[in-house]
Amino acid sequence: MLERLLLAMGLVAFVLVALPVHAAPTCGLCRRGIQGEYLVYSQPNGGKLNVCQSCQRSARKCTLCQIPHRESGALCAQCQRTARPCDVCRQVLVGDYRDYRLPGGQPHRVCLSCVRSAATCHACSVPYAANRLRSYPDGTSWCADCASRARTCEGCRSPIQGTFFTVQFQSGHWCAGCFHTQEKCHFCGRPMDSTGAHLPDGRHVCRACFSTSVEGEARVRQIAGRVRPVMQQLLGKPLTPVPVRVVDTQELQRVYRGGAKLDGATNTTASPQSVVSELGVFRIEGRVREILILDALPEDMAWETIAHEMAHAWQAEHYPECNEFDLVEGFAQWVAEKICDRMGRRSGLEKLRHRQDSYGRAYRIVAAIEQQHGVGGIHRALRQNRIPAEFRGIR
């Protein structure tokens, strides 16, 4: 018996056999009975395939398993069912490939040609088909997995890789590019995007702050009119109405600086946002009392500023001798906190309560006095112009 063992591409063994006397084998491709020598292939699924010499010469070989077949494509029927395509170009993997694991844990098998040439995700560096990557305004392309896990920059709306920036007491994240190059909103400190506004006096205001702007004297007076009864109820003593005027940054700073320089005839207390920009001022010159409020404040900030300045006016009316900074400013901040909280104007309260400067400390001192001794304790401290010893250590 003639028997040769051959290896096809190292994948499948096939055997050339002499026709056995008792059997009449059929060719698995042409379905005809076989006379003489024929080949027997071991198929990937373990089955055997007889192939006559004519089919062996004429049939196309499967590019994957090298077994002759009569299918229309390059693969035999079995390989068509089981072959694994490259996860980028969808071509059947015949040569070497590289296995990746996607950020979500799924396996991702890529042919070497795609490993070399396909577009990759900016974050995980895995090659993807172009339609599975999304391009972002900052020029990077990301796979859906990485993009969904990353924080999105509030400025350029691109996912952020690596370091991100936040603004204290504000929600949102920014990429280094946006954070370092964009101007900051005058009110909230968030980096501006193209949708912000530039006010005539030079202030830059982000869209969120601008969208609630309180513009013009009428609206400011309307808020003052609503603050007054709440304040009287909170403090138990009335406030004689004080004229309120709306000003721009330049005028406000002129008044504030001027007030700071003048002698005892002028008494100016400012509502702070930071060291450099004031939002409002209460001043007394002789018998003239006046509140100045910066125009176009975001609504919650307008409430807070108006309440703060009206608290100064109230204190000047009832406890004019009180001048200790922690009491004067702590009281104004505490009144503003109470009123904004009651009126549902809460977007600035986190900052008011937790700011780390002298205004934040002054607020915490007065709030602690109230907690221990009630509003009466605050009245007593203002009357005596003295912070009880137990509260002086508060930071």
- Separation between Cα atoms, residue 316 and residue 328, nearest integer Å: 9
8 Å CB contact between 315 and 325: no
Please list every residue from 25 through 64 that binds Zn ion, using CB under 5 A.
27, 29-30, 52, 55, 62, 64
C-beta closer to Zn ion: residue 221 or 283: 283
Work out whether 153 is an interface residue with Zn ion (CB under 5 A): yes
Work out whether 178 is an interface residue with Zn ion (CB under 5 A): yes
Work out whether 187 is an interface residue with Zn ion (CB under 5 A): yes
What number of CA atoms fall less than 13 Å from residue 378's CA on the CB side?
Answer: 28
- Separation between Cα atoms, residue 73 and residue 39, nearest integer Å: 22
Work out whether 76 is an interface residue with Zn ion (CB under 5 A): yes
- Separation between Cα atoms, residue 322 and residue 216, nearest integer Å: 32
C-beta closer to Zn ion: residue 211 or 372: 211
Work out whether 89 is an interface residue with Zn ion (CB under 5 A): yes
Applying CB under 5 A, the span of 10-18, 216-224, 250-258, 330-338 interacting with Zn ion comes to: 330-338
**Residue 267 DSSP code:** E
Instruction: Quote the least distance from Cβ 68 to Zn ion, whole Å.
Output: 9
Chain CA centroid to CA 255, Å: 39
Chain CA centroid to CA 137, Å: 15
Instruction: Quote the least distance from Cβ 323 to Zn ion, whole Å.
Output: 12
Label residue 322 exposed, middle or buried (CB < 10 Å: 0-12, 13-18, 19+): middle
Instruction: Quote the least distance from Cβ 12 to Zn ion, whole Å.
Output: 9
Spell out, one character per residue from 275 to 314, where the chain touches Zn ion: x when CB under 5 A holds, - when not. Answer: ----------------------------------------
Which amino acid appears at position 27 of this protein? C
Applying CB under 5 A, the span of 214-222, 325-333, 340-348, 374-382 interacting with Zn ion comes to: 325-333
Contacts by 94-99, CB closer than 8 A, 24 or more apart: 94/63, 94/64
- Separation between Cα atoms, residue 324 and residue 310, nearest integer Å: 18
C-beta closer to Zn ion: residue 79 or 231: 79
C-beta closer to Zn ion: residue 378 or 390: 378
Work out whether 146 is an interface residue with Zn ion (CB under 5 A): yes
Beta bridge partners of 13: 7
Identify the residue among 49, 281, 301, 332 touching Zn ion (CB under 5 A). 332
- Separation between Cα atoms, residue 213 and residue 280, nearest integer Å: 15
Q: Could you list the residues that contact Zn ion (CB under 5 A)?
A: 27, 29-30, 52, 55, 62, 64-65, 76, 79, 86, 88-89, 111, 114, 121, 123-124, 143, 146, 153, 155-156, 175, 178, 185, 187-188, 206, 209, 269, 271, 329, 332
